[in-house]
């Protein structure tokens, strides 16, 4: 299991764009299960949509991709210092809206993994109901140094 402090060591995302709270299962280079607790205080709910808050589908896909990135990067010490970038999204479907108070459980599995690219299949569930699914293609590269930190 990876808590948020360990997640912050693996991927470079930070507030307000870190969309994964915990990894509860991880089988190296095979599959992972991650959790996002959807709070009414999320900034995107201010405009999406007033009086009818719904988590944007693109952010559900982003959270799914972050779980996939954690899976791929945490599975190999050789990938430390790398970053994962979106390269494509296929077969994306949104089944049910995600609203404040929901807990999204992401289940991702590796379909193909190469040295500099990977393809994952992800599903997002709220209370065992499928709310979204997609296949995500990513590329991996060296993580750039943070400006002003020397890291």
Quote the CA–CA distance of 146 and 151 in Å, as a whole number. 6
Residues 99, 52: contact at Cβ < 8 Å?
Answer: no
Active site residue 13: no
Q: What ranges make up the beta strands (E) of the chain?
A: 22-27, 31-37, 82-94, 103-113, 117-126, 129-142
- Look up residue 106 and give its two tokens: 């992401």
Candidates 31, 48, 96, 143; catalytic one? 48
Quote the CA–CA distance of 71 and 96 in Å, as a whole number. 25
- Look up residue 116 and give its two tokens: 């500099």
Query: Looking at the annotation, which residues are catalytic?
Result: 48
């Amino acid at each position: 299991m990876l808590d948020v402090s360990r997640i912050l060591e693996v991927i470079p995302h930070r507030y307000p764009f870190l969309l994964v709270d915990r990894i509860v299962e991880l089988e190296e280079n095979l599959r992972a299960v991650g959790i996002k607790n959807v709070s009414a205080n999320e900034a995107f709910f201010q405009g999406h949509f007033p009086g009818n808050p719904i988590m944007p589908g693109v952010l559900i896909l982003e959270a799914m991709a972050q779980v996939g990135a954690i899976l791929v990067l945490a599975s190999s010490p050789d990938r430390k210092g790398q970053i994962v970038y979106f390269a494509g999204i296929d077969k994306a479907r949104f089944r049910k809206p995600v609203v404040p108070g929901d807990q999204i459980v992401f289940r991702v599995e590796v379909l193909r993994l190469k040295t500099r690219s990977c393809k994952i299949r992800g599903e997002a569930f709220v209370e065992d109901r499928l709310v979204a699914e997609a296949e995500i293609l990513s590329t991996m590269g060296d993580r750039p140094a943070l400006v002003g930190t020397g890291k």
